[in-house]
Amino acid sequence: MQTITRVAELRSNLAKSRGADRRVGLVPTMGYLHDGHMALIAASQAQCDVTVVSIFVNPTQFGPNEDLSSYPRDFLRDEELCRDGGVAILFAPDTQEVYRSHFETFVEPGDLAKPLCGVFRPGHFRGVATVVCKLFNMVQPDVVFFGQKDFQQCAVVRRMVIDLNLPIEMVTVPTVRERDGLAMSSRNRYLSKEERQRALAINRGLSAALDEFRSGERNVEKLIAVARGHLEAVDRLQYLELVDGDTLKTADSPLRRPAALCAAAYVGSTRLIDNVLLGCQLGSAMRG
């Protein structure tokens, strides 16, 4: 595995792979890798000849009171995990390499960035779309891999790929969970033992609603109420919404289209997100 920090070196190295007609996969991350990231890497390994993992804690997607400075980092551990996972290139640029002096050009996402997390994290998806577009331009992958846990992020990036005619296939990999059901996240390390137990209420609520859906329930209000009944253990429920799987607009009753039940909640000072899909798999692979 090569660890590369400069765009010019990255492009030079990948030009050799493209010259040999090798299929390049990209797994964009902010580091502090866990089994969810490793599932993305494994998916790339299965579908591509060359897997690139990027590690970059992107400052433009953090708000002024969010955890940019304390976001968990362990680069040596990440490097070892990538090497063990068969990654060909670990791309780890610093902030100056990504955002040169006087940087002022951003990708402005549309309506998909407005609901759910967009209400509470203004500017977040502008930062996400911008850095992801830059990584796509730096790596020029054939395929990119994202996790379903970040459902709205996937929708925003997928729309960008289509709208900007990017020649990239986007694959969404199902959420990987801990044995107790908690969705894997780099932020889980913030939880105390007691908080972690209470955090399990999120998955319990979503799973209960999914069970009702599988039993035939199609009323949006009833499905939300089933999930909400399990979420009293969290300290603050930021949102719990059932949205159309394509538009992210509030789903209509009775449900006739693929939808997603999405939640964001604080347990202690840690903000956690999760979701379940109601209906067929949404956007598992798409090319611009």
Q: What is the pLDDT of residue 287?
A: 52
For residue 281, the 8-state DSSP code is: -
Per-residue pLDDT averaged across 231-248, rounded? 97
Catalytic residue list contains 37: yes
Alpha helices in 147-234 (DSSP H): 151-163, 193-214, 220-228
The answer to whether residue 284 scores a pLDDT higher than 90 is no
Q: Count CB atoms within 10 A of the CB of residue 22.
A: 14
Q: What is the mean pLDDT of the chain?
A: 96
Q: What is the pLDDT of residue 102?
A: 95
The catalytically annotated residue of 37, 102, 124, 230 is 37
Rounded to whole angstroms, how far apart are CA atoms 150 and 143?
18
The answer to whether residue 172 scores a pLDDT higher than 90 is yes
Give per-residue pLDDT as tens, 121-148.
999 999 999 999 999 999 999 999 999 9
Give per-residue pLDDT as tens, 19-50.
899 999 999 999 999 999 999 999 999 999 99
Distances, alpha carbon 63 to alpha carbons 66, 72, 116, 122, 160, in Å: 5, 16, 16, 8, 22
The answer to whether residue 286 scores a pLDDT higher than 60 is no
Give per-residue pLDDT as tens, 10-26.
999 999 998 899 999 99
